[in-house]
A and B are shown apart, each in its own frame.
Chain A
Amino acid sequence: MRFVDEFRDPELAEVLGREIAALCEPGRHYKVMEVCGGHTHTIYRYGVQDHLPESIELVHGPGCPVCVIPMGRVDDGIAIAEQDGVILTCFGDMMRVPGGRGSFLDANARGADIRMVYSPLDALRIARANPDRQVVFYAIGFETTAPSTALTVLRAKQEGISNFSVFCNHVTIIPAIKAILDSPDLRLDAFIGPGHVSTVIGCRPYEWISRDFGMPLVCAGFEPLDLLQSVYMIMKQFTEGRAEVENQYGRVVQYDGNPVALKVLADVFALRPFFEWRGLGSIAHSALQLSPRYADFDAELRYDIPGVRVADPKACQCGEVLKGVLKPWECKVFGTACTPETPIGTCMVSSEGACAAYYNYGQYAKQRLTLEVLR
């Protein structure tokens, strides 16, 4: 447990909190976005915000891979699953994401065969075990996850497995950060960079953020003290008048990333001209598709899919939550019509979604109370 205990020490958290507070300029408000859903989860789970002075506000970003899948892509998955002989496989949280025609769980209730897997390699195992069926992996995730899909495609090709294909929804983090920085309704001061995405892509791809926008970015680990230390490093940059990319998570992240993983990604995938993100709209060059070299494994070429854009439900304010403009509890349906059991929006589905994280760790009760008193 050594790995974890050192990074959850409450006394150290107190000390760090005090040091951070001492670095704050009086009267200044700091907005720091954690891009990654894993960080959002840690922040709510361990009450990281409680250790920070009021002048530092953590703003949640779009880095929950389940949350950014638009409804139309869910419907596309269901359309594939409804074809004769198909087994659709996906990660657990994806099963509950609502599309225009319900979720994958609803599709199963109507007779589809959609199975949860922990790895795309499990989907390949299912394909080997069911040579008379077609097995499709519904791929989601950022650069952390894309290498596992890529490796699976390479193994499928090597073994000549012809009843396996991938419906690719992998997205890339940099264009999403660009879209947020271009958004007129949000003013940010700094970023906490996604630790495990950075394991793959390294820290270099963020350098333009410091250079062009004068904003510090610190790649961070996932324990509460990792996050506090990252905020400390950001505040230190402010007091010293620097804006740089720094790596707090050196025990895992190499500044240049994982070159083998990057090579495999470049071989197996190509950039899509456009991809629609839930809440953020269509973003250029922000998602991956299989490269023509692996067209045999591309479910989008193998199956007829509707490919229709489906508008989000009217009540859903996930877009604002994903951009950090609204806090989860500020959405009108939060905790009433929209709960983890009956999610209206995607942010309530995954444990990394800001709404689910906030709901599950109970802090919303306190916040809502405060809000009601204020009104």
Chain B
Amino acid sequence: MTSCSSEPGCITCGDVAVPLTVLAVDGPDATCADEQGRHEVIATELVGNVVPGDRLLAHAGVAIERLTGV
């Protein structure tokens, strides 16, 4: 219900973020897939231009960093 008991702790509010892969870019937003193949639209202004295939770390709907080598 209201508790964020999903996988790596509380995704929405804690110091937890999830790795995602960019599938398609639409202006400042990108549709991304997580490790389980679930899709999510993520704001990308904080990590610069992204292209499909880029790996991002997202937290609360916003990409906060690019991932390198993972």
A interface with B by C-beta (< 8 Å): 1-4, 36-39, 41-42, 63-66, 91-96, 105, 116-122, 140-142, 144-145, 147-148, 151, 154-155, 194-197, 199-200, 222, 251-254, 258, 260-261, 264, 340, 350-352
Contacts and interface: CB of A to CB of B under 8 A. Distances in A.
18 contacts: A36-B14, A36-B15, A42-B8, A66-B10, A91-B4, A91-B60, A141-B60, A144-B64, A145-B60, A147-B64, A148-B61, A155-B43, A251-B68, A252-B57, A260-B45, A351-B3, A352-B9, A352-B14
A352 B15 CA distance: 9
B14 A38 contact: yes
Contacts of B57: 196, 199, 252
A314 B56 CA distance: 44
A144 B16 CA distance: 8
Contacts of A120: 60-61
A260 B47 contact: yes
Contact of B16 (A117, A119, A222, A340): A222
B47 A96 contact: no
Contacts of B68: 251
B19 A258 contact: no
Contacts of B65: 199, 252-254, 258
B4 A41 contact: no
A200 B58 CA distance: 12
A258 B47 contact: yes
Contacts of A261: 46, 64
A145 B35 CA distance: 21
B50 interface: no
Nearest to A36: B15
